[in-house]
Amino acid sequence: MFKCRKGARLQKYAASKVLTKKRFELVSPKKELAAQGLKHAMAVASFKFLDAKGDGQLDMQEVVGALAKVHEIDFEQAFRITCLIFKAADRLEKDEEGNQIKDNMISFAEFASLVQPDAMRFEDYLDEFKKGLNRFTEGLTHDVDGDGISEEDACKKAFYEARASNAQATYAKEGGGGGDGGGGGGG
């Protein structure tokens, strides 16, 4: 009988330490913002995959087209799934007269809210990140890997290269790459 109590007490103590450690992990703002940022980065990749037109919004045809790649789904199922997605994700917008309507398009913010219901809204994430920007990026502005380039400069280069690549892809999709000599320079 004494052993049971002692074992129960040790078990309670161990569980208590685990919960205390977990609680600390959950309330660490730096880790939480990093996790939220990674979730949003993964959502960006998924969104870009679905955004076949490259216009920064999803329409019903793009979502149905993505579902068509799943051989086990027929058109009726794909259409109903798409309707369900749009009903859940498409927020009310205001038209020119101030009436609230749904635009039958899914923006990235709407998409992120749907695929990550437990995640912070993208707009709120950006606001929170801006508040703690300097505190969370300390130590990352110097040369970490010894290549002579600061991490900030290397990331800046990667960011603008990705943005330029995305702009070129969008330009080509919109028919701008017709070879008419109309220039796409500048940068």
Segments making up each domain of the chain, as ranges? 2-138, 139-176
H helices, E strands: number in the chain: 8, 2
The CATH code of the domain at 2-138 is 1.10.238.10
Q: Which residues, 6+ apart, have CB-to-CB distance to 39 below 8 Å? A: 112, 116, 119
Closest listed residue to residue 116, CA positions, set 9, 14, 38, 39 = 39
153-166 per-position pLDDT tens digit: 777 777 788 778 87
DSSP letters spanning 90-109: --EEE-TTS-EEE-S-B-HH
What percent of the chain clears pLDDT 90, i.e. is strictly above it?
17
pTM: 0.53
The tokens describing 61, both together, are 């045809």
**What band does 2 get if pLDDT is binned at 50, 70 and 90?**
very low
pLDDT for the residue numbered 155: 73
Cβ–Cβ under 8 Å, residues 110 and 91: yes
